[in-house]
């Protein structure tokens, strides 16, 4: 499979704008779920930094000999990940072990980053259990 990575700046800007819209919709849902005020999350993230990173992992005959990105946590507020092939490269840490995430076709993986974790811990717990 040959992946055409040459896209125009206009296409990237349009994609980033749509990702920003999606991010704000997800954050608004989190605000409702946590019982926060609507503007609190918007003030934190609406004018914040947005970045895009592209990693491509082609099929490999010996995946046990390949190292992708090092284990890490996302320091941002929200990660929107699109897996474009069926290679299991994304893993989560659960109960001290790394477990692969099976890619779902045409679906985004949403990861809440460290920033949202910190915000969550500063919210009085009675709001989260209401």
Tell me whether residue 4 is in a domain: no
How far apart, in whole angstroms, are the C-alpha atoms of residue 19 and residue 66?
30
HEC sequence for 52-103: CCCCCCCCCCCHHHCCCCCCCCCCCCEEEEECCCCCCCCEEEECCEEEECCC
**What would the pLDDT profile of 92-111 be if each residue is shown by its tens digit?**
878 888 888 888 888 888 88
The domain containing residue 103 runs over which residues? 9-128
Tell me whether residue 99 is in a domain: yes
Tell me whether residue 103 is in a domain: yes
How far apart, in whole angstroms, are the C-alpha atoms of residue 45 and residue 32?
16
Tell me whether residue 100 is in a domain: yes
What is the DSSP secondary structure assignment for residue 48, as one 8-state letter?
S
Counting the structural domains of the chain, the total is 1
Tell me whether residue 110 is in a domain: yes
CATH number for 22: 2.60.120.330
The helix (run of H) or strand (run of E) holding residue 122 is helix 114-122
Tell me whether residue 66 is in a domain: yes
Tell me whether residue 33 is in a domain: yes
Res 129: pLDDT: 42
Res 44: pLDDT: 76
What are 66's two structure tokens?
């390949």
Tell me whether residue 123 is in a domain: yes
**What would the pLDDT profile of 56-95 be if each residue is shown by its tens digit?**
777 777 777 776 667 777 777 788 888 887 777 788 878 8
Question: Predicted confidence band at 123 (pLDDT cuts at 50, 70, 90)?
Answer: low
Res 124: pLDDT: 52
């Amino acid at each position: 499979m040959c992946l055409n990575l040459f896209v125009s700046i206009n296409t990237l800007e349009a994609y980033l704008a749509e990702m920003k819209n999606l991010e704000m919709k997800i954050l608004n849902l989190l605000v409702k779920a946590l019982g926060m005020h609507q503007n609190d999350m918007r003030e934190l993230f609406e004018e914040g930094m947005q970045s895009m990173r592209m990693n491509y992992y082609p099929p490999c005959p010996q995946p046990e000999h390949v190292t992708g990105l090092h284990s890490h946590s996302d320091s941002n507020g929200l990660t929107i990940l699109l897996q474009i092939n069926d290679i299991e490269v994304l893993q989560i840490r659960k109960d001290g072990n790394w477990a692969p995430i099976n890619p779902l076709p045409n679906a985004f993986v949403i990861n809440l980053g460290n920033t949202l974790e910190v915000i969550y811990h500063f919210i009085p717990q009675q709001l989260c259990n209401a």
